[in-house]
Structure formats: C-alpha cells, structure tokens
Amino acid sequence: MKTIGAGLAAHLAQEETTLARCWRIRRGDGVVLGFTDHDLGLVVAGTACTPMHGLDGGEVPSKLGAQVETGEVLGILDHAALNEDDILLGRYDGAVVESWVVNWLEPAQTLLLRVDTIGEIVREDGVFRAELRSGQAALNVTRGRLYQGLCDAVAGDGRCGVGLDTPQFSATGTVVTVADPFRLVVAGLSGFAEDWFSFGMARWEGGRRMGLSDAVLTHRKEAVGDVLGFGRRVGEWVVPGDVLKVTAGCDRRFATCKAKFANAVNFRGFPHIPGSDFVLRHPRSGDALDGRAVVK
C-alpha cells in the first residue's frame, strides 16, 4: 500500500491538478537517465528529468496473484541521451524503470507509482516502444539445481572458483578484420590453443560496444589468424582497432573442468548420472547396470 504525502494528497483532492509523469531509468552499466512528459525539466529523487516530447506511458492493468503485470512506455527518439544505437546494442535490456507522478508546481510533491524492468524493446520509424515488466517477472527465474551431467556454474563465478583474470585464462585482443556479422579476426591471441576461448566471454574496452560483454561461441585458428565466433551480431558495431578482453570458456564437461582448469573439486554437475540413452533403452540380459555412460 502506498503512502501519499499530505501535500500531494491535498493537491489530488482539488478539482484541478498540475500533475506530470516522470520516468527514472537505471541501466545495468550505471547510467541513470530521467525523462518527463512535462514541457519543463523536473528533478525527481535527485535525477534531472528532461522534457521528452512525444513520450507517453500506457495503462498498466493490475493482476491478482503472481501474474506479471506489464505496461509500456513509448516515444520519439528525439533526445541525444536516448538513441537507436544504445537500444540496438542492448544497453537498456533489463534496465530498471521508476514511474513517478509529480506536481510540477511543487516538484517536492512526488509519488513513486511502480518499479519495473524493461523487457522487449521495439523501434520503428523513429519511435520506440518499451515493455515494462513488474517485479513478479523475477519469479520466472529458475531456482535450485538440476540433476544433469553438465556443470551448472558459470565459469569464473563464486561457485566455480576459477580466477579468469590470470594471464593463463585471459587475453587482450584487437580486431583486425570483420569476417562477417558473427565472426571477427582478432590479433593478440596467438599464444593460446584453438578452442581455448570457445564458450568464453569478451568484454569490449573500446569502440561503439565499449562496456558491453558478448558470448564467444567458437575460437578457430585459420590462415588469417585467430577467428572468434560470437553468439550475436557484433560485426556491424565494431571496426578494426577496437579492443576487447577475452576470457577462457568452458563447455561445462567434467573432463574439461579437470584438464583445462584443474578444478574438478568444484565441478557443479553430476558426471556419473545416467543419460537419457541409458534410461530409455530396452534392458538386455547381461548389461552392467552400474551407472556408467552407455555411449562414450
């Protein structure tokens, strides 16, 4: 239940009001932006909200139980701080959006209506439409562990325990050539074996993608040099000379954890659990049902 300040409550009780909507956006990279549908700038929670002509917030229906409430905010891309490149690069994915109502004659009279996260963003003809998902969306995240042969930790996290910042597991590379939207020829990785960075991560330290991280799917040694294949289109956003830091990847198999990282003690999977081929196959006389893999 929301508590409305006495000043704003008295203002809402009047027949005529001077209210404006404000949106405070906190991106994952730490950037905080503020916008308002009023024609003058307002300050909300210490953030200057810039007039955004054409910005509009849609209605948000209330739902019972744990259903995710969704709304939207749409507007014209006419502000330097909110451009198509940042949207396409994913800088607003998962950003936190605070929706406020403000008495623009008395800006100290504010009310936080809701806190959402940005879901799907669609942009067309210079207009963006951002889906706002309520806090219940966090309930859709899988909790607990799955019994499976592969490790369910992320390489380098607290459960994995491997330090990926060491020279053995990380390197700084420079883009030499853009082979295609998904593949880049990178210099600086010649001292590492093929596939060393497959299933790893690359964090951009320069260029238009600076500050973003992308999943590396493949690492190949070719005549032109080391070629990294990415899980998303990056070639359209980088140019030769852009710098990236790459960390070694793991295919989450026990053999890789043991041989590549010497980290078998922290393996977070169940390598000896029978696979689906063992469970589904027809039993035969003489089979050794000892839990070993049927297909090696």
| Same domain assignment for residues 184 and 109 | no
Place of tokens 């899988």: 142
- CA dist 193 and 119 (Å) reads 38
Q: What is the DSSP letter of 137?
A: G
Of 90, 125, 140, the residue at which a domain comes to its end is 140
pLDDT digits (tens, 9 = 90+) for 167-225: 999 999 999 999 999 999 999 999 999 999 999 999 999 899 998 999 999 999 999 99
Instruction: Compute the CA torsion angle 240, 241, 242, 244 (nearest 10 deg).
Output: 110
| Same domain assignment for residues 135 and 176 | no
Task: Tell me the CATH number at 131.
Answer: 2.40.10
pLDDT digits (tens, 9 = 90+) for 48-73: 998 876 555 555 455 444 454 555 66
Say what the pLDDT of residue 1 is.
62
Integer-rounded Cα Rg, in Å, for the chain is: 26
- Integer angstrom CA distances of residue 195 from 146, 191, 198, 269: 27, 12, 5, 22
Domain membership of residue 58 as a residue range: 6-140
- CA dist 296 and 289 (Å) reads 15
Task: Tell me the CATH number at 240.
Answer: 2.40.30.20
Say what the pLDDT of residue 65 is.
47
* Residue 282 forms part of a structural domain: no
| Same domain assignment for residues 97 and 180 | no
| Same domain assignment for residues 133 and 12 | yes
* Residue 271 forms part of a structural domain: no
| Same domain assignment for residues 183 and 98 | no
Of 85, 118, 140, the residue at which a domain comes to its end is 140
* Residue 260 forms part of a structural domain: no
Domain count of the chain?
2
User: Any idea what the Cα angle at residue 8 is, between residues 44 and 112, rounded to 5°?
Assistant: 40
